[in-house]
Structure 1
């Protein structure tokens, strides 16, 4: 009986073992497959695509085995798909990721550009509007009505009175002929005497006055031929004047010149009639429009520049000779390939545009020309109709770094400066700068600090050197001892240094600026 009981117990145990093995076998198999997938780093997300890992676009060197929020930035991690890894020449970005991160596309299109030159010039009087006042007869300056250089005068204004004995004799001769009895003879002589008075400098009004009064005047007036300012005063009251001697010089400033120096290489881009805009240092905010009316035929042998003359209207008298100003000269307009200016990534050694190719993206090096109205001229590198990324390039830049696409750009001869291309950061656009670069600096507020791990989370202000906006992100500190005495809420100033291996910016120096707020 006891033996039978033992046999039954043994049989039950064997059956339980068999059933347990059958029951747990599918679970172990699935678990083994999952473990293998985890080892290979391949899982699937909601899109059904295979994900190699997740990463922060601002710190692409760090990889994570599951989705979530980035420990460095206040943003979600981005998946790295196996399809993108398999692509040979570009970078794959899912449409969902493009939408989430606001990646905007634009076309390479023709746009109008105008050759613009900038130069410095000086305001000068219009030499065609200089007037020299000279008496036509010798005499003496009996009265001078303009006293100093710079005095304003109006057209027709009397500027001096001259005593001329010769003119006085001519007046008496004229009056005598008026009283001549023989009208047939006197008429011709009177006309001749009248003309002589006019040639000697008397005005019609002055001649009419002596004709009406039948009395000669000892003085005759000298009048301004144009409105302007006195630029030269050659005599004083009582001075003797010789025939043809200069009495006064007047400059009409209703129109002035700006004479600018243009480099020899640019002179052929200009022609008479070229539009010009002038801004003066003494009149900030004022823009004066004019045009080139003359290009001087000779060059300065020392500076290798040619003088260009711009004519400017000066109705309000604001433009004064001697003023300096900046002139913008607009040359010939032309149509050229262009992209939105925000599409161009300037790295220091080259300029790159992210181009869409099929379902992927490819960084392309370009040569740029002028920038106008939010668009940049493309000289080489792109063709009309291509699609480029106009915003969100930082994500594709990160993808390109992980895929090694930009590393191939960095291996061009001009990119290797004193080191192997393999030693450079793995092609990240930010690492494509010259080796000797000052460390970017910034300021911010401490959110979290961990002295043991040497990490700190900062809400930092914009960092212009890196074109980073204000954001909250985590940093590693090269020397964790610098974190002693720094607590959450402190205002700090810090400098960053790029880690060539991880592709991240670490804090090289951090110092406290103020207490907690």
Structure 2
């Protein structure tokens, strides 16, 4: 019994010691884990905040490895990148190829035409002749005419018997035989007032007998649109007998998207092609831009007047038309480089040392995969043409603001002199030394209305060969000493 009590006491002492040791071990483990650093450290001592997939930059990971979204390694985000005072997103140059980044340069080039539309040939409704009966009578004879027939000017349509004319003509002939010139003149005027053509009166004077049958003829050549005269019918004075539409010119009514309306104006040249005449081009001009827009298709109708030699262009034919203006010089970037947010347009600037920053731009016309830059870029600045959406996402997450249009542009390369951040056209009012006075169009980027003002010439040689009254296109910058003209060229003839 004494042995048992002693054994139990020894066992209790051993259990207590074991529990104490276990507690000390647990406390040590807890202390070791608590003192673990919160972020990893890369080679070189740079602190890593997290890893991320460049394709999905909003998702962060606490360790390196393969991306769950793409078959690529996660990229580290360093603490010094977030705290750096440099503007822009930094990307390791070794990773630009894997991200598919392609760099382009803003350069001055030729902007051609790309505005095409389709439409149908219609009658020229301004070239319509209405044939009416000048006096009442009976249709004695009709000629073989029908709606749709093409006739020439002076083609007869119908013979009308006018009984009222017989008595007036007999009276006129009797007065002429008397020899009273005054009475004869009054009687002749009466015939004309009765609606008798001058040719019929002359025939009465030549023959000496009444002519009470008049032939109604087409006053102009074209196609008969309506014909309302038949043999034996009675016609009243002023009744419409026929409607003739000329074919010397026709209309091409083309449907143009409303977004293109600002690029068109009446009088602008246009070129049409038709499937009926492959290889031929028909030149014309915009006669009118109709005021209403089709609600279903959001298109407006542009009316183009085309000459119709030999009547080859027939109403109802389908045609394609090129409405573009002549090619002109402009600052261009690839259209794929433009990021359109709905409120503004951005490009991603490629800065030195592998950094990138968004910049707001004002865009103009687009053609051939190139977009005109009206403001926000200078010639020679490098931008990202492919893969820019990935960098833009990272810039948004990092809180990097886009360079505003009015902000300073990067210094252009020496071999690519600046064309100015802003471009417009105007008329030279005077040139004096290094100053030029221009009456220019509005500059929306600066909220300038059309006005006359004096600019400083970046180089007096720019104005060499120009004189007062010349129409020009010019680019300028907003410098500390005021607006400075950087480029000056003659405006293309329209």
TM-score (norm: length of structure 2): 0.49
TM-score (norm: length of structure 1): 0.47
